[in-house]
Structure 1
Amino acid sequence: MSETGNLGCVVAAVDGSEESMNALRWALCNLKLRSPGSDSSFVILHVQSPPSIAAGLNPGPIPFGGPSDLEVPAFTAAIEAHQKRITEAILDHALEICSELNVRFSLLQVNVKTHVVIGDPKEKICEAVQNLHADLLVMGSRAFGPIKRMFLGSVSNYCTHNAQCPVIIIKEKDTANKIN
């Protein structure tokens, strides 16, 4: 972070959920990057699941004596192509949000980048933040209940404790209006 408090690199993690897009909006509206001419960047990060996790299965043994570790390349390629389309749609939506808010990064000479990594979101977000030398990570919170959180874990909670930079978690807009 610079002496003036402006940020050099902000990473906004998006997963396609409305919560993550609200966090992106918040970051764009509320954070100030370093002055023009510096190497400031705003990174929109998306973590894509590996094809085996996305499919939710590991091909089992083929009935009637086939090999048990056989991979089906066409199946894997189809899943990868589908995930790529999903990732492109998520990043396109995020970039549309930038345009909607009339964020003119080119006039400010700030680099807006998209960055995609493949793997477990918890680990990959923290790894990307470290590799990008981020000054701040911004992400949404899906506000899973205790049961879902127990089985799925909380990506935002993990990142809060393991990211190598400060983390801002943006909760649902209407949280104050909801009854707990």
Structure 2
Amino acid sequence: MEETTDASAAMQQQPLMRMKVMVAIDDSEESFVALKWVLDNLYGIAGAVPEAGMLTMVHVQEPFQQYFFPAGPGPATFYGGAFTVVESVRKAKEEMAAALLARALQMCKDKMVKAETLIVEGDPKDKICELAEQMHIDLLVVGSRGLGKIKRAFLGSVSDYCAHHAVCPIVIVKPPKQHNK
């Protein structure tokens, strides 16, 4: 008879339907591919009760770096113009985040899966791992942009960072291969 490991015993005690799953959503199509994978493979299981498990979709906004450049002569122009630009950028970022999460929520609604959304500010790779730990997430799912080694070295990879630093199991969903030859 085969021995059961601690991990498999834990999975038997906590059915898949009761898992707390987090999906990172950003403005890339790959994050929506990851969400679709979750909806099709975890919540699309025959007999699964969608509302039994918790699905959290998180969007991390990078902090706005404020750079002040004079818009014209005199201090009033400098400060007034900068404030207007900062507020415009903040509002645009909030609207973009709301639109992304509305699209993600609609995908969940189409599959009859209840989900919650969360918007936080910070470095995406750090915040995703912090939230996964704080919220006691059972499974973290992120999309992969499929960066090559050189781009990944210079730009960094959120999925690679999470794979090495998240305290829970992680699934990295690769983008579908393009068959254009």
Normalised TM-score (structure 1): 0.78
Largest Rg, 1 or 2: 2
CA distance in 2, matches of 1:4, 1:42: 15
Give the percent of matched residue pairs that are identical in Structure 1 and Structure 2.
37
Aligned position for 2:6: none
Which residue number corresponds to residue 90 of structure 1? 100
Query: Taking structure 1 as reference, are residues 151 and 65 closer, same or farther at Cα in structure 2, changes over 3 Å only?
Result: farther
Cα deviation 1:76-120 (Å, max 9, x = unaligned): 111110100110111111122223xx3223xxxxx5100111111
User: 1:93/1:22 Cα in 2 relative to 1: closer, same or farther (>3 Å)?
Assistant: same
From 101, 108, 112, the equivalent of 1:104 is 112
Give ranges in structure 2 of 5+ residues lacking alignment: 1-9
Q: Residues 37 and 30 from structure 1, CA distance in 2 versus in 1: closer, same or farther, beyond 3 angstroms? A: closer
Q: Distance in 1 between matches of 2:167 and 2:41?
A: 21
Match of 2:29 in 1: 18
Alignment of structure 1 residues 151-162 onto 2, 5 Å = 151-162=154-165
Alpha-carbon RMSD = 3.0
Any unmatched runs of 5+ in structure 1? 106-110
Q: How many residues align?
A: 165
Q: For residue 89 of structure 1, what is the amino acid of its counterpart?
A: A
Deviation per CA, 1:48-95, whole angstroms, max 9, x where unpaired? 11121xxxx6336899997xxx79322211111010011011111112
Equivalents in 2 of 1:144, 1:76: separation in Å? 31
Q: Displacement of 1:149 after TM fit?
A: 1.2
Code of the aligned partner of 2:55: F
Question: Take 1:50 and 1:168, find their aligned partners in 2: how far apart are those partners?
Answer: 26
Match of 1:73 in 2: 83
Normalising by structure 2, report the TM-score. 0.77
- Mapped pair 1:28 → 2:31: no
Cα distance in 2 for partners of 1:122, 1:42 equals: 19
Structure 1: 4+ residue segments shifted above 4 A: 32-38, 60-66
Shift of 1:146: 2.2
